[in-house]
Amino acid sequence: MKKWAYIFLINGLSLLMNGQTTPTNSCTKVIETFKESFNKKEPQLFYDLLSKSFQKEFSLDSYIQFTNQIQEQYGYITACVWSRSEDGAEVYKVEHQKDNLQLSLFCNSGGGVDGLQILPWKDKAATTIRTNYLSDNLKNDSLSIVVDKAVEDFMKTPANCGLSIAVLKDGKTSFYNYGETKRQNSQLPNSKSIYEIGSISKVFAGLLLAKAIEDKKVKPDDDIRKYLPANCKTLTAGGQAITLKHLVTHTSNLPRVPEDLMNGKMDTLNPYAHYTKDMVFHYLSTLKIDNKPGQKMDYSNLGMALLGIILSDVYKESFDNLAQKHIAQPFGMTNTRMLLTKEEMSRFVDGYNSEGENTPHWDLADLCAAGGLRSSAEDMVRFMEVNLKAEQNFVKTAQELLFESGRDKMGMAWVIQKTKSGNTLIWHNGGTYGFSSFAGMLKEKNCAVVVLANSGNRTDDIALNILKYLQK
C-alpha cells in the first residue's frame, strides 16, 4: 500500500497537544468540503482551504494528481466518520467504494488546512497487542520503572520495532533498550546501535552557525543572498531580505519543502535523495514570497537545508564533515555522521514506517542539514551532556532565545519551552519514514533524555513522560 503523506517529510515541531473528544467546528466543515470536492471531481473547492504556506509546498497540480490516484484505486467516498484527535490532527475514517482510508486533517483556527495525511485504515479494536518483547531494563529502581512504563504503549504496538533510550541525570547516564534491530531477528539494540536522527540534525546546523559566527565567517543578520548565486539575487520575503537568523529560527517564510520536490526522479520512499544543491538554487531563483520574514515561526526543511548549504560553502567542506570536525569529534561522539563506515553500517538498524513496513534508509545528500545525520544513543547522550554544560561559547550562543511569538520560542534550531513545573525544556525531535527521535534537556534539573526508535511513529510522549518524572 502506497503511503500518501503531505504534512511533512521530516517531523515538525508539534508538542504538548491538548486532547479532544470531539472534532473542532472548523474541521467539521473542512471534512464536508473534502468529501464534496472529491466526489464532484472539483479539487479547487478543497484546495482553496489549504493555508498559503501549505499551498506553497503542495501545488494544485500535485493535489489533483494525488486525489486522482486515490479515486482510481478506491473509488468515491461514501462516508467520513470522525475517529479521534491525535497529535494535533482530527482523524477520520473515510469510507470509499472499495476500501477504507484514514484521513488526518490539521485544521487551523481560521477554518483552513495546514496539513493532511492519508493512510490505510486500521481498526484499532482489531489491532493485536504485543506483550513479549526484548529489553535490558532490569526495572530495579524508580527511574527504570518509569522508563518501562513510558515505553509500554509504544512497544505493545506491533508496528513498532525497537528503541534505545539514554537518560542523563546529575552526571550519571543510564541506557535502556527495547525490541529488535530488525524485525524477528531477536537482536536487542544497544547504546551503540545507529539510528537516523532526522530533524535533530537541524540542531547541528544551529551549532555550526553559532560556530561560524564565533569564527567571524558570517554574521547572524547577513542577507542570505550574499552566499547565493547571482540567479537568486531577487529572492526576498515581502520585499525584505532573508537572513541567516531567519533560516535558523524557521522565520524565513520559505516553504517547508521545495514545491518541485516531487518532480523528476523523486523516490517516494527516499524523497530527498535526488534533490541537489543546484536544484535548491534554481528553485529559489523562481520563488516569490509575499510575507515579511521574522514575524512568525513556520517550520521549513528547505530553510535549514539551505543554511547547511551556505555553511558548507563558507567553510568549503561538506556539512557532514563540518558536523564531525566541529561537533562530533570535539564532543567525543565517534559514530555520528551521514556517510557511515562499513563497520557502522553493521550497527545501522532497519527502519519501519508507521504501519510497521520495512522502509529504506533515507539519503539527504546536499540537504543533510535538514535531517540527514545518523547517530547512536551513546553519542547523542554525550551530545546532550555537552549542551547541558554549555562550556563552549558557541554552544551557549546556540541556546540563547532568538525568536519569541506566543508559545513559539526558538534558539539556533533549539526549541525552547516552559514546562508546567516552571522549568525550561530545550529540545528537538526528528523523524523519517522509518525512524523517530527526541532529544531534550532541563537545565534547572541538570538532566537530559534521548529516545531513538527504528519506527516511524513518534517518540515524543516517551521522552516527555520521563522528563516529567525527572522534574520531581
Which residues does 269 contact at the CB level (< 8 Å), separation at least 6? 359, 360, 433
Helices (H), 260-363: 277-286, 301-315, 319-323, 329-331, 342-345
Q: Compute the chain's Rg from CA coordinates.
A: 22
Burial of 468 (0-12, 13-18, 19+ CB in 10 A): middle
Distance in angstroms (rounded) separating the CA atoms of residues 457 and 87: 11
Proportion of the chain above pLDDT 90, given as a percent? 71
Residue 278 has pLDDT above 60, yes or no: yes
Cα–Cα dist 255/306, whole Å: 12
Residues in the chain: 472
Question: Is 192 in contact with 335 (CB distance < 8 Å)?
Answer: yes
pTM equals 0.82
Enter the DSSP assignment of 227: G
Closest C-alpha among 283, 287, 310 to residue 219 = 310
Lowest mean pLDDT among 104-108, 209-213, 286-290: 104-108
Beta strands 113-120; 4-5: pairing state: antiparallel
Task: Name the 3-class secondary structure at 82.
Answer: strand
For residue 408, list its beta bridge partners: 405
C-alpha 449/C-alpha 174 separation (Å) is: 10
User: What CATH number is given for 4-126 in this structure?
Assistant: 3.10.450.50
Identity of the highest mean pLDDT range in 81-85, 117-121, 159-163: 159-163
Q: Grid coordinates standing for 113?
A: 488546512
Please give the helix or strand (H or E) that residue 206 lies within, else none: helix 201-214
Residues 295/298/302/306 CA torsion (nearest 10 deg): 30
CA dihedral sign of residues 407, 411, 414, 417? negative
Give the chain's largest Cα–Cα span: 62
Q: Which of 41-55, 103-117, 303-317, 389-403 has the lowest mean pLDDT?
A: 103-117
What pLDDT does 238 receive?
96
Sketch the domain layout of the chain as residue ranges.
4-126, 196-470
All three cell numbers of 421, joined, read 513545573
Strand positions, DSSP E, 295-422: 351-352, 358-359, 374-376, 403-405, 408-410, 415-418
pLDDT digits (tens, 9 = 90+) for 129-180: 898 999 999 999 999 999 999 999 999 999 999 999 999 999 999 999 999 9
Q: pLDDT value at position 124?
A: 58
Task: Check if the beta carbon of residue 428 is closer than 8 Å to that of residue 373.
Answer: no
CA–CA gap between residue 218 and residue 417 (Å, rounded): 28
Task: Count CB-CB contacts under 10 A for residue 129.
Answer: 8
User: Per-residue confidence at 240, pLDDT binned at 50, 70, 90?
Assistant: very high
Cα 347 versus chain centre, distance: 23
Q: What are phi and psi of 281, to 5 degrees?
A: -65, -40
pLDDT above 50: residue 63:
yes
**DSSP bridge partners of 95:** 79, 100
Q: Report the percent of the chain where pLDDT is more than 70.
A: 93
Q: Does 3.40.710.10 match the CATH number of domain 196-470?
A: yes
Q: Could you report the per-residue pLDDT of 321-370, keeping only the tens digit for each? A: 999 999 999 999 999 999 999 999 999 999 998 889 899 999 999 999 99
> Does the pLDDT at position 57 exceed 80?
no
